Chains A and B, each alone.
Chain A
Amino acid sequence: MRKFFFLSAAVLFLLPGLQGFSQVWEVPADQDALKNPSAFNNENVKAGRELYNTHCKSCHGDPGKNNALPLVPPPPDVTSEQMLQNSEGALFYKITTGRVAMPAFETTLTEEQRWRIVSFMKSFDPANEGLLVKEEPVKARLQGAADETAKVLTLSAQTLNASGEWMPLPHADLFISAKRTFGSLAIGQAKTNGSGHAEFKFPEEFKGDWEGLVDLRVTLGEDFSCDPLVMNRLKIAAPADTENLFADRVLWSTNDRTQWWLILAYLGVVGGVWLVIGYVIFQILKIYKAGKE
């Protein structure tokens, strides 16, 4: 009887949930009619893609690859019909409010950012085909040197022109990052001047390893096809204050760093016990001798 009660309670509990999943995600009419205030251009789509990769990709997967997480209800692929039939306003509303497994991004993303994600998603709409002229990435290369005492990086960027010559690349953004155990940590940006040179003042407080060595990577933006400039083991960062957990003699430390009082107390007890045993044996011997006499 009890079992039956639990079972029916479980069914009753699950049913509304299932109904909720199968229902169409209703969007209020005024929200559905909203138009994207940000322009539909390469820049916004690119920004949208970056935001998508950070916030959406973990569940929805890579666009067009149908590798979304198997959740209930399933998160649709960005290029799927189910996704594309949404109006811009509807997409914005759904990103803002979220439902079941989908988080509400109202607090984590600004309106502008949410609209950029909409722009990115709409770039897969066949109706928008041809609107964005995607420029071929320009071939470029980076060179650089580091002044370790002045803590300055001198960088220069060049690009391949139509006749196959390397020309200075003016006004390009350079991104400087440091290698860390599980990823690269952004340090800062520099912009090349009119003659393709840039200087980057390395931040004083940025930590390297215990010697102040750091592995740097410099990259150009996504518009360029360019190998990152790798500068390994530069003594340019502040030395990290590596903590030695075993510096003090503490109770939880390793055997060779045991606290003195513990060693002394232990040796004292062991020595005391042996002394008592020795004393007892000595006394027994004495009694034995006395008996013989």
Chain B
Amino acid sequence: MEQNYNTRRSFLKSLGVTLGVAGLGVSSGVLTSCSKVSSVSPEGKIRLLTPGGTLVEVDASQLTPAEMPSLTDNQKRGRLGMEGKSWVMVIDLSKCRNARQCMAACQNHHQLRPEQHHINVLQMQDAEHTAPYYMPKPCMHCDNPPCTKVCPVNATFKRADGIVLIDNERCIGCRFCIAACPYSARVFNWFEPRDAEKYEGVTYNIEANVPQKKGTISKCLFSADLLRDGKLPSCVSACPNSVYWFGDRNEDAVTNGTTKETVSFSKLIRDNGAYTLMEELGTKPRVYYLPPKNRTFPFEGELIEKGHQG
């Protein structure tokens, strides 16, 4: 019995050492791939490519491993949000011609299958005799979000800069939030996510919700990881028709993703008669729509026929 116990202990010990070494190897591999080492010269100098694109030589002894946010740091940071910011989006319906570049960019960024949409371009016709139009519909990032109230495990939450996020490390896949959301903004990972094998072993980034996990919820998050880098969300910068304006309500400025023009947010929504979707529900959405007036593109979708509206 004693003998047996010792063997198991030594086995566990050696296993721990092996795993630790393997972990070190993997992490150093990750570090080298990130700093883009191009070659090691004989004098112990290492050539590195800076983010600016210039090649520099650094003495090998001078190198320190870069600090990468761990999963818990990332989750903590992701829960707090960016201080002093209050993100808003304005969607100009008169410019949308259903190019669907926003949807493609979003699905690439957030590892979504073709049938999953964080943002979806819908064909709308408000009444029988009104003109149909295209309407991109992301998450509204409500200031009174019904979805976060129903989560039994505190996986989905609203943070200080206004973004509603989902933590798929906590999500149990009950889908209460899907039922609670009046905008149908959430999707469920019924199957293995797209390119699942490519993302194997990647640390979960809560601000991009990547890698996705089967059996959890995913939703639009205004590309919170890009915002942290000072970049516009991927749908906003992918649009070729200047549909999207994005910015900080505290600063009262929104920037167009296509033309990069910056205008006053309050003036833009005041002058163009902006509205929000289903505000009668008291959800206080953060996505504003400019009405489809003076359109630059004709509607080419299918019209709803009389009597087919169920």
| A residues lining the B interface (CB < 8 Å) | 53-55, 58-59, 69, 98, 101, 103-105, 107-108, 178, 180-186, 207, 209-210, 240-246, 250-255
Contacts and interface: CB of A to CB of B under 8 A. Distances in A.
Contacts of A107: 294-296
B145 interface: yes
B144 A182 contact: no
Contact of A254 (B85, B157, B296): B157
Nearest to A206: B252
Contacts of B260: 182-183
Given A58-B259, A108-B294, A252-B158, A180 B84 contact: no
B193 interface: no
Q: Is the interface of A mostly helix, strand, loop or mixed?
A: loop
19 contacts: A53-B259, A54-B259, A98-B296, A101-B99, A107-B296, A108-B294, A181-B248, A181-B255, A182-B246, A182-B247, A183-B260, A185-B251, A209-B84, A240-B250, A240-B251, A242-B86, A244-B160, A251-B149, A252-B145
Contacts of B125: none
A245 B162 contact: yes
Contacts of A55: 259
B258 interface: yes
A250 B144 CA distance: 9
A107 B296 CA distance: 7
Q: How large is the interface on B (under 10, 10 to 19, 20 to 34, 35 or more residues)?
A: 35 or more
Contacts of B85: 181
B155 interface: no
Interface in B256-310: 258-264, 294-298
Contact of B263 (A103, A108, A185): A185
Contact of A103 (B230, B241, B251): B241
A54 B95 CA distance: 14
A249 to B, nearest CB: 13
Interface in B140-182: 143-145, 148-149, 154, 157-158, 160, 162
Contact of B240 (A53, A69, A182): A69
Q: Is the interface of B mostly helix, strand, loop or mixed?
A: loop
A242 B81 CA distance: 14
A181 B230 contact: yes
Contacts of B240: 58-59, 69
Contacts of B213: none
B247 A54 contact: no
Contacts of A245: 143, 158, 160, 162
Contacts of A254: 79, 157
Contacts of B250: 207, 209-210, 240-243
Interface in B68-95: 79, 84-86, 95
Interface string B227-260: 0001010000000111000111111110100111
Nearest to B263: A185
A180 B149 contact: no
A180 B242 contact: no
B97 interface: yes
B253 A105 contact: no
A258 to B, nearest CB: 11
A108 B84 CA distance: 35
Contacts of B255: 180-183
Nearest to A214: B251
Contacts of B154: 255
B203 to A, nearest CB: 24
Contact of B148 (A53, A243, A252): A252
